[in-house]
Amino acid sequence: MTPETSANGDGRPVNRPQRSLAARLVFVAAVWSTIALAIAGVFLVSLYERASERAFDAQLEVHIKALIAEMLATNADASADQATATLTAPTYRGDPRFSLPLSGWYWTVRRADSPSILYASESLVGDPLNTPPIGQDDANAGFIVGPTGDEIRVLQQRITVEDAAYVIAVGAATAGFWADIFEFARLVAITLCIVGLGLILAIFLQVKFGLRPLARLRASLSAVRQGEAERIDEALPREIAPLAVELNALIVSNKEIVERARTHVGNLAHGLKTPLSVISNEARASGGPLADKVSEQASIMSTQIQHHLERARMAAQRRVIGVSCETEPVLARLIRAMGKIYQDKGVDVGFAQSGQVRFRGESQDLEEMSGNLIDNACKWAGSKVRVQVAPLNDPATNRDMFTITVEDDGPGLTPEQRAEAIKRGRRLDETVPGTGLGLSIVADLAALYGGTFDLESSSLGGLKARLVLPALSKE
Amino acid sequence: MRILVVEDDTDLNRQLVAALEEAGYVVDSATDGEDGHFLGDTEPYDAVVLDLGLPSLDGLSVLENWRRDGRTMPVLILTARDRWSDKVAGIDAGADDYVAKPFHMEEVLARVRALVRRAAGHASNELTCGAVRLDLRSGRVTVDGSAVKLTSHEYRLLSYLLHHQGKVISRTELTEHLYDQDFDRDSNTVEVFVGRLRKKIGSDMIETIRGLGYRLGAASDT
């Protein structure tokens, strides 16, 4: 068997789905049933053939016995003066077919030491019956070709009358016999075919029913992956329940790992940024060329730390198994916070969402991306920021996505500046506080989720940031 | 104006206190959550600079407890965990603004200034009352356009009165907001400073309301 794998873009082997488990079970059971039924059929037909043969032979034997009885009786009737004539011609007509010429039913009497026939039934006209040699046996049976070319079953018996041995043969055409066997075989075949089909159907239903918990497990797992459920339903049959338990443990452990990584990153951030604040403030307070250098380097370190912590968070995020969140509460909460932060500026942040949209990812990441965009818009806006969320179906991939657009009525950016703004650590205006990482973090996170991020000019007069992210499909 | 700084890093705490004092505020400080919470709960502050990562009681809990107990002073949170989820959690817990670490002291000062001003209901960084004008960013005081030199105590007194102009401010309130927690509140230094300030900005600017306290208002208003 060749391994059903290939490599994807990054060289990782991808398992192609193998043939269905149900199809396998049904196929094997069907093959096995067909073979078993065929063997049973052959066995039945052969039993029937042997039974029919025995019954046919028994019938011929009755005729032989009746014929011998008639001949011996004829012989006993013969007077003592005809002592040499040991047998008289029998006129046995035990079956009307012995009288009908070439009816297929024949009897003959001959001496054991000579092939020439002494007596024969009235039905045997023309060619004699080529009975098989009996040798030294008292009786035998066999098949010969009759005078009309059809197959004849012949039974022979040796009798000895006054030291003379005779062979009495009774034969009958087997045409009817075989016709019976074939008819029986046909009926057996039809019956077994029906039984076989019934069996396959029963197996199919059994497999379908038997594998239903697996389908349930798959649906449950898929719900977890999609972020619709937090854990797999463990109410499953004994055989696969441990699998669900193990998967749940894996999901929990995965979340714990991510949570630990996040806490670690948070602690690291705290551990590094506080001393950095001290260093840079101390340097700024003391003044002089050394202080300037320290300030400058502290600022570079700060940007680097910010960037790498963000990367670490993103790396942790990649390992989270299916989570999702409603966009509306996340954005509403952010906008409320922005209102407080920018209340001095009096920026009016409008929010509109068409329909219900669920982001297929971590709410913290959605908050980070939209937070950076709204914060940026509020920073630059004259008085108005517009946030809109709308579902979107990507025709290229047929994936459910959604867009978040954040527009402001600020000065906006030229196309060249827009390209620059997304680059890491680029601050277009050094007088406005920030690390310059905001938009590049948005672009990186969006790419990580398979989404896109671009900047355009807004009808409000300023910048329009457009974020496309995966949505949870509405099934 | 009295500010509380709650920051567990002693160096950063010292820097914040020094910078705020230099900017004309009276500053109390705490280095853990429980002490910080106690001070904020018992002393009247005009603003609080609160770090979120604190020992014994984290900053978010300190803030939530204050708000639950009806403490409404403006709070600026300092956070090294600068994801939006952390910032929004802080704002939701009752913070008024945030500064992400590492920060420049000027940024903290600007935010504190804005919070104090906003809490007193002023939209501009320039507070005026008649001929008296105070630029909160530069700390420059002018009367009829001419610069007036004030001592730090006089500056604090004028700033507090200007923030709350038109309102009657008791001597106790002034003491509470102009001096740190260790100050002897029975002393009569407030009267002394009011007297000196009257000489510098005009005697009719600060009105004494007998038995109640002082009120700042333009001469024409009274």
pLDDT at B218: 58
Among chain A residues, the shortest Cα distance to B19 is held by A285
CB contact under 8 A, A278 and B9: yes
Over 60: is that where the pLDDT of A5 sits? no
pLDDT at A3: 44
Q: Determine the residue among A258, A277, A342, A365 to mutate to test chain B binding: the one whose Cβ has the most chain B Cβ atoms within 10 Å.
A: A277
Q: Is B88 an 8 Å CB contact of chain A?
A: yes
Residues (pLDDT < 50) of chain B are 219-222
* Shortest distance, CA A206 to any CA of chain B (angstroms): 52
pLDDT at A178: 86
CB contact under 8 A, B88 and A269: no
Query: For A179-194, what is each residue's pLDDT tens digit?
Result: 889 999 999 999 999 9
pLDDT at A396: 74
Percent of chain A with pLDDT over 70: 88
Task: Report which secondary-structure segment, H or E, holds A247.
Answer: helix A241-286
Q: Which of A145-149, A162-166, A170-174, A281-285 has the highest mean pLDDT?
A: A170-174
CB contact under 8 A, B9 and A344: no
Among chain B residues, the shortest Cα distance to A372 is held by B84
pTM: 0.63
pLDDT at A77: 57
Give Cβ neighbours of residue A422 (< 8 Å, ≥ 6 apart). Answer: A439, A440, A443, A453, A455
Over 60: is that where the pLDDT of A78 sits? no
Residues of A in contact with B11 (CB under 8 A): 275, 278, 282
Identify the CATH number of the domain defined by range B2-119.
3.40.50.2300
Among chain A residues, the shortest Cα distance to B54 is held by A270
Average pLDDT score over chain A: 82
Q: Determine the residue among B9, B78, B92, B101 to mutate to test chain A binding: the one whose Cβ has the most chain A Cβ atoms within 10 Å.
A: B101
Provide the pLDDT confidence category of residue A10 given band limits of 50, 70 and 90.
Answer: very low
pLDDT at A421: 76
Report the distance separating Cα A89 and Cα B52, nearest Å.
132
Among chain A residues, the shortest Cα distance to B97 is held by A341
pLDDT at A313: 72
ipTM of the complex: 0.74
Over 50: is that where the pLDDT of A1 sits? no
Report the distance separating Cα A332 and Cα A363, nearest Å.
13
pLDDT at A426: 52
Give Cβ neighbours of residue A123 (< 8 Å, ≥ 6 apart). Answer: A97, A98, A99, A100, A101, A102, A103, A104, A105, A106
Higher pLDDT, B186 or A99: A99
A 272-291 residues with CB < 8 A to B: 272-278, 280-282, 284-285
CB contact under 8 A, B84 and A340: no
Q: What residue ranges do the domains of chain B occupy?
A: 2-119, 126-216
pLDDT at B64: 93
CB contact under 8 A, B12 and A367: no
pLDDT at A474: 61
CB contact under 8 A, B104 and A280: yes
What six digits make up the tokens of A315?
Answer: 């790396």
Q: Which of A17-26, A81-90, A267-276, A463-472 has the highest mean pLDDT?
A: A463-472
pLDDT at A75: 60
pLDDT at A14: 52
Q: What residue ranges do the domains of chain A occupy?
A: 19-210, 242-317, 325-470
CB contact under 8 A, A364 and B101: no
Over 80: is that where the pLDDT of A447 sits? yes
pLDDT at A441: 80
CB contact under 8 A, B101 and A276: yes
Higher pLDDT, A17 or A283: A283
Closest partner CB to B81 (pick from A269, A276, A333): A269
Pick the CATH number of B126-216 from 3.30.750.24, 3.40.50.2300, 1.10.150.170, 1.10.10.10: 1.10.10.10
Q: Provide the 10 A C-beta neighbour count for residue B94.
A: 19
Report the distance separating Cα B60 and Cα B43, nearest Å.
19
Residues of B in contact with A368 (CB under 8 A): 83-85
CB contact under 8 A, A341 and B98: yes
pLDDT at A182: 92
Superfamily of domain A325-470: Histidine kinase-like ATPase, C-terminal domain (3.30.565.10)
* Shortest distance, CA A303 to any CA of chain B (angstroms): 10
Q: Is B102 an 8 Å CB contact of chain A?
A: yes
pLDDT at A85: 44
pLDDT at B222: 37
Mean pLDDT score, A420-432? 58
pLDDT at A436: 55
Residues of A in contact with B80 (CB under 8 A): 266, 269-274
Residues of B in contact with A275 (CB under 8 A): 9, 11
pLDDT at A188: 94
CB contact under 8 A, A269 and B9: no
Domain A19-210 has CATH 1.10.3720.10: no
Query: For A48-73, what is each residue's pLDDT tens digit?
Result: 999 998 998 999 999 999 888 888 77
The answer to whether the CB of A28 falls within 8 A of the CB of A19 is no
Query: For A299-358, what is each residue's pLDDT tens digit?
Result: 888 888 877 777 777 776 655 666 788 899 999 999 988 888 888 788 899 999 888 888
